[in-house]
Structure formats: C-alpha cells, structure tokens
Structure 1
Amino acid sequence: MADQERPRHPAAPTAEHGRLGLTLILVAAFMVVLDFSIVNVALSSIQRDLGVSAATVQWMVTGYAIAFGGLLILGGRAGDL
C-alpha cells in the first residue's frame, strides 16, 4: 500500500483566482454597456443616412437587442459545456 501514490487534488482556489474572475466579469459587463452605447450614439447617423423613420430605427434597436441577448445566452451555454 505504501507503493501506491495518493490521488492528486487540484489546488484550492486562492484570492488571486477570485480577483481574476471578478475582473473578467467586470470587463464583460463594461463591454455590454459600451456596445449598447455605441449603437445608441450611431442611431441618428443610421436614420439620416438610410432615410428611415423613427419607428424603423426603434425596430432596429429591438432587433439588435434580441439578437444580442440570444447570442449572449448561446455563448453562456457554450461556455458551460
């Protein structure tokens, strides 16, 4: 029995791992806010250049938000796998 090796266990998470995880979450949240801000700033230029109505621009925002949310859920699920 002395010849058998003990099973190795992964090292316990440290405070450094926690800080890294928190940093990644904060950067991701900032990117989401930044992404939506960029789209909202560009809306007036999109409306003017394409010559569309305000209702059409609202549909663009809605479509963007739905696509973004769907891909966010899909990416989260892929990350879990």
Structure 2
Amino acid sequence: DDRTIAYIPFIGGSGPNPLIITRGLIATLLGIPSASGAINAVGLRVPDVTELTHIVGAPELTLTYSGNGTAEHVYAQIVDDQTGL
C-alpha cells in the first residue's frame, strides 16, 4: 500500500484536540495534553477484537520510505475514530 505524506512545515503531526472543551471540565483538564488525529497521518485499520486478548512485548513497524529524511524513529499514536481521542 503506497501512500504519500505531504510535508507541511510547522503544521505536521497533531496536537491538542480543540473539541475536548465540549466534553466537560474533567475531560477538558485531562484531555488538553492529549493528541488528536493528524491531518497528514497514515491511517491503518486495526481489526476488531473478537475474544479476550492480551498484547505483550514491544510493537514492531515495517515502513518503506523514500525521501530526504534522516530520522530513524517513528512516532505513532492510536486515535479512536468515534471519539477523536
């Protein structure tokens, strides 16, 4: 699956979800430092769990990249599509 992520200086990634203020005081205080979906994200569908599942160990990611970047780390986050958090 080939995807292209646009490079947008100083606007990439994600940040606090501004809609968190609509969820009440406690959710706002706890949610402001939370991440939200990025406009330049690569979205992956994770299959629904059909039985009790325990996940252990470090996550692994295989990524094929072409470009001029030199970083060797990938920042990943999980965002619930229903809540945006």
Q: Give the TM-score, by structure 1 length.
A: 0.26
| Greater RCO, 1 or 2 (C-alpha within 8 Å, sep 6+) | 2
CA radius of gyration, larger in: 1
Q: Specify which structure has the higher proportion of helix.
A: 1
Q: Give the TM-score, by structure 2 length.
A: 0.25
